[in-house]
Amino acid sequence: MYCGRFAPSPTGPLHFGSLVAATASFLEARANCGEWLVRIEDVDRSRCRPHYASQILTTLEGFGFSWDGPVVYQSDRDEIYAAAIERLGDRVYACSCSRGEEHRRGCDLSKPVRSWRFSSVADEDFILRSATGGFYSYQLAVVVDDEAQGVTHVVRGADLESSTPRQAELQQALGYRALAYWHFPLALGADGAKLSKQNAAPGIELEDASRQLWRALRFLGQSPPVEVEGAALGEIWAWAIGAWRRP
């Protein structure tokens, strides 16, 4: 059974880069007759805004995405993340370093605790929870949620590839299943522009949905026929699901 997901952070409206990520994970899931979930990654309340979450969902709906099951909000799940940290036991330790400081194990704990870190074998020790805001980290929340939601396949941009070893190590430490990952390249297709640059671009407009979806498909290395350009969204999706191939 295939279960994929799209997990946007509501720090702004949906931009073209997130449309591409949503399209890639949705098409992979549907082409594998799998489920596709949407999760709002608003674990860091200092950066996220609830109105962006509802705006993103409206935009996804407007583009013709349909997801399985209810939308999960990370901001509702602090207790679950706390239990996971508990479960990690002595692999978690306190750290007093500020953001700018380079952390080393055994940092000065006569200073106030700023975060709790995971003692990693494979990578640098990374933060699981910040003491300042009380927020759980992206790495921890993603791993806990993917397990809880039964996600089997993660599709996301290559900009997130560096997170994967950390997440895999956390999965192992928590006794979770291992996931399959595919990171799509960020410079693909006819547009040739780096997708990360698009992330600073303004949000995408629903009035322009067919053209934007067509662009996203081209970006993902698909070759929609000319007839599909400017067609209704349903027609573009029907073509895209049938023709989907990883670039």
Query: What residues line the site for Zn ion (CB under 5 A)?
Result: 95, 97, 103, 107
Rounded Cα distance, 211 and 48, in Å: 28
Provide the token pair at 233.
Answer: 């969204």
Of 6 and 118, nearer to Zn ion (C-beta) is 118
Minimal distance in Å, beta carbon 103 to Zn ion? 4
Minimal distance in Å, beta carbon 123 to Zn ion? 15
Of 108 and 227, nearer to Zn ion (C-beta) is 108
Rounded Cα distance, 24 and 34, in Å: 13
Of 107 and 243, nearer to Zn ion (C-beta) is 107
Of 80 and 97, nearer to Zn ion (C-beta) is 97
Rounded Cα distance, 2 and 13, in Å: 28
3-state secondary structure of 194: coil
Provide the total of helices (H) and of strands (E) in the chain, helices listed first. 8, 8
Minimal distance in Å, beta carbon 118 to Zn ion? 12
Residue 118 near residue 126 (C-beta atoms within 8 A): yes
- Which sign, positive or negative, has the C-alpha torsion 54, 60, 63, 67? negative
Of 14 and 140, nearer to Zn ion (C-beta) is 140
- How would you classify residue 73: left for phi > 0, otherwise alpha for psi between -120 and 50, otherwise beta? beta
Of 127 and 231, nearer to Zn ion (C-beta) is 127
Minimal distance in Å, beta carbon 132 to Zn ion? 13
Q: Give whole-number Cα distances, 17 to 163, 173, 178, 201, in Å.
A: 18, 32, 26, 9
Bridge partners of 6, per DSSP, are 38
Bridge partners of 154, per DSSP, are 181
For residue 156, the tally of other CB atoms under 10 A from its CB is: 19
Of 95 and 186, nearer to Zn ion (C-beta) is 95
Minimal distance in Å, beta carbon 114 to Zn ion? 8
Minimal distance in Å, beta carbon 65 to Zn ion? 41
Minimal distance in Å, beta carbon 213 to Zn ion? 45
Angle subtended at Cα 67 by Cα 210 and Cα 222, rounded to the nearest 5 degrees: 40
